[in-house]
Amino acid sequence: MTTITILEKLYGSSSPNTFEEIYSSLVNGLNVQLRFAGTTDRGWIKLDVFGDDEAAALSVLDREFGLGPGVLDKLEKFSFMKGKIIFSNKSATDLHVDLVTVSRKVLEATVSEKSLQAHLADGKKVPLKKLVALFCLYDNLPLKIKIYEDANMRSETVKAHLSEMQLSLFHKWIRFRFDRLIILGSSFPDVERAVKLSRHSRDIIKIESLGVLEQVVLCKLGTDAVGLIPKLGRYLKSSVLVPFSPKKIVAVLDIQSF
């Protein structure tokens, strides 16, 4: 039996059953069993994996969700990592990204205000808190980063930039010009249900997933994400709903194009 850490967190109104069902469906057909084994101090999910096809199951889970590295030595300079934002409103200088807990050690990456200004605001001196609000960089948002210093067993933080993949996603959202509603703390079925019960299916194009508990509602032309917050929020009381507005980003940052 192997105990692994999945790069997903348990928070909001979700339960372990939500994750067990999803993970088990992915390894359906393999001779393996998955069992929820609790969480780390910061909510990262731990699973017990056992069975003849354990290696194949671990490969599937790593591909679909990502696994916490067993040792910090694997986090070398220029490594790409997936983490979740943490303490988004507690710093005026750095964006903190919770990466993983390895051997009972907490490890965070910090993305500086200057780095975010360079990559998101075309070098303009926009305060970190303004960038957090414009790009919905709130707690638990999944973020893909690129580490630019080596980590070791003494490391508690490492410096990073947003990865090219993450920047490409933000730029795509802005170019498309349609509002998006970011929902943190709800599963895909829960958001589908909220859209149906609120009778706003006609106002959205589709729902996309950034993670098991992080969804993006793509609004139709003419639908403002802000207006959907109270409508859907009444059915998603334990979640955080924030608008991503390309129109506002372009206006505030005075960006001509990406």
Residues 80 and 46 in one domain: no
Residue that wins the pLDDT comparison between 28 and 207: 207
pLDDT band at 153 (very low <50, low <70, confident <90, very high): low
Residues 104 and 42 in one domain: no
**Is the pLDDT assigned to residue 52 strictly greater than 60?**
yes
Q: Could you count the other beta carbons within 10 Å of the beta carbon of residue 123?
A: 10
Number of structural domains the chain divides into: 3
Tell if the pTM clears 0.85, that is, is over it.
yes
Domain presence at residue 103: yes
Question: Domain with 192 in it: what CATH number?
Answer: 3.30.70
Domain presence at residue 182: yes
244 phi, psi to nearest 5 deg? -110, 110
Q: Of 65, 26, 97, 87, nearest to 212 (Cα)? A: 65
Compute the average pLDDT of residues 31-37.
91
Residues 182 and 167 in one domain: no
Compute the average pLDDT of residues 10-39.
88
**Is the pLDDT assigned to residue 166 strictly greater than 90?**
yes
Residues 155 and 184 in one domain: no
Residues 40 and 77 in one domain: no
The mean predicted confidence, pLDDT, of the chain is 90
Give alpha helix (H) positions in 68-220: 113-120, 128-134, 164-176, 188-197
Domain presence at residue 164: yes
Domain presence at residue 194: yes
Residues 155 and 183 in one domain: no
Domain presence at residue 228: yes
Q: Is 174 left (phi over 0), alpha (psi -120 to 50) or beta?
A: alpha
So what's the pLDDT on residue 253?
A: 92
**Is the pLDDT assigned to residue 104 strictly greater than 70?**
no
- Rounded CA gap, 72 and 68, in Å? 10
So what's the pLDDT on residue 102?
A: 59
So what's the pLDDT on residue 134?
A: 97
Domain presence at residue 258: no
Domain region containing 93: 72-171
**Is the pLDDT assigned to residue 152 strictly greater than 70?**
no
So what's the pLDDT on residue 72?
A: 52
Residues 190 and 139 in one domain: no
Dihedral sign from CA coordinates of 217, 223, 227, 232? negative
